[in-house]
């Protein structure tokens, strides 16, 4: 199922290789070989190896990110619920990625974290304004009480991304769950909502 454009072919190749190897163990020649093109051609479409990785990340995240943004505009849903849905979307994105990448490698791959770092940056940067906007709407309509909407958005995104990726600060599964529950509780108390209002999207 080859993609249309040439640069997509290259990204496909990298994606394939990433399933069973870490980036630093994948050579540009290898990517070229897998894509079925010459090594030099890679540099016609991308300025560096790093740029290929960046492009792949963006491609992978573009669609779920768009739906998250779209969700932000559904003003008929309560802001608090929409915040919860972004919450959930984060989970799905991270989960999808994780399933995609940890088939062979256990979890000790330090170098792999290099990749997660880029995801973290991309996800927080893209989603922070969206989530901030939703929180502000919640504050205006009185369902959320908090003085630092942007900060709240960032805190949520950082903690969620890091804990759900579980690579930058590895923990056992139950520890991850515990931290998420703690975050939910902290959010509920911090936004002056009753305990359990965010909990309907519990650990699945």
The pattern of x and - marking residues 48 through 67 that bind DNA according to CB under 7 A reads xxx-----------------
Residue 98 lies near DNA (rule: CB under 7 A)? no
Span interacting with DNA, options 35-43, 80-88, 93-101, 195-203, rule CB under 7 A: 35-43
Give yes or no for a contact between 117 and 62, defined as CB atoms under 8 angstroms apart: no
* Partner whose footprint covers residue 38, from DNA, its own copies, none (CB < 5 to 8 Å by kind): DNA
- Residues 114, 136, 139, 193: which binds its own copies (CB under 8 A)? 114
Written as six digits, the tokens of 61 are 């995240």
CA 54, 55, 60, 61 torsion: positive or negative? positive
CB environment 30-62: b (16+ within 10 A), e (fewer): ebbebbebeeeebeebbeebeebbebbbeebbe
Give yes or no for a contact between 145 and 192, defined as CB atoms under 8 angstroms apart: yes
Residue numbers of the site for its own copies (CB under 8 A)? 50, 110, 113-114, 117, 120-121, 124-125, 146-148, 150-152, 154-155, 158-159, 162-163, 168-170, 175, 178-183, 185-186, 189-190, 192
Residue numbers of the site for DNA (CB under 7 A)? 6, 24, 26-30, 37-41, 43-45, 47-50
């Amino acid at each position: 199922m080859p993609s249309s454009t040439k640069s997509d072919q290259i990204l496909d190749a990298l994606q394939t290789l990433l399933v069973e190897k870490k980036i630093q163990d994948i050579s540009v020649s290898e990517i070229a070989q897998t894509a079925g093109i010459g090594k030099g051609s890679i540099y016609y479409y991308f300025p560096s190896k790093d740029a290929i990785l960046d492009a792949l990340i963006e491609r992978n995240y573009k669609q779920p990110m768009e739906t998250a943004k779209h969700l932000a505009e559904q003003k008929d849903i309560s802001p608090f619920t929409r915040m919860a849905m972004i919450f959930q979307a984060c989970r799905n994105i991270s989960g999808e990625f994780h399933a995609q990448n940890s088939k062979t490698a256990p979890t000790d791959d330090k170098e792999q974290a290099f990749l997660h770092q880029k995801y973290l940056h991309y996800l927080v940067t893209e989603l922070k304004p969206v989530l901030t906007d939703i929180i502000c709407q919640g504050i205006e309509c009185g369902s959320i009480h908090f003085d630092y909407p942007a900060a709240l958005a960032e805190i949520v995104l950082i903690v969620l991304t890091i804990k759900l990726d579980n690579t930058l600060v590895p923990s056992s599964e139950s520890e991850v769950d515990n931290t998420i529950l703690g975050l939910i509780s902290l959010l509920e108390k911090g936004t002056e909502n009753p305990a359990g209002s965010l909990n309907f999207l519990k650990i699945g």
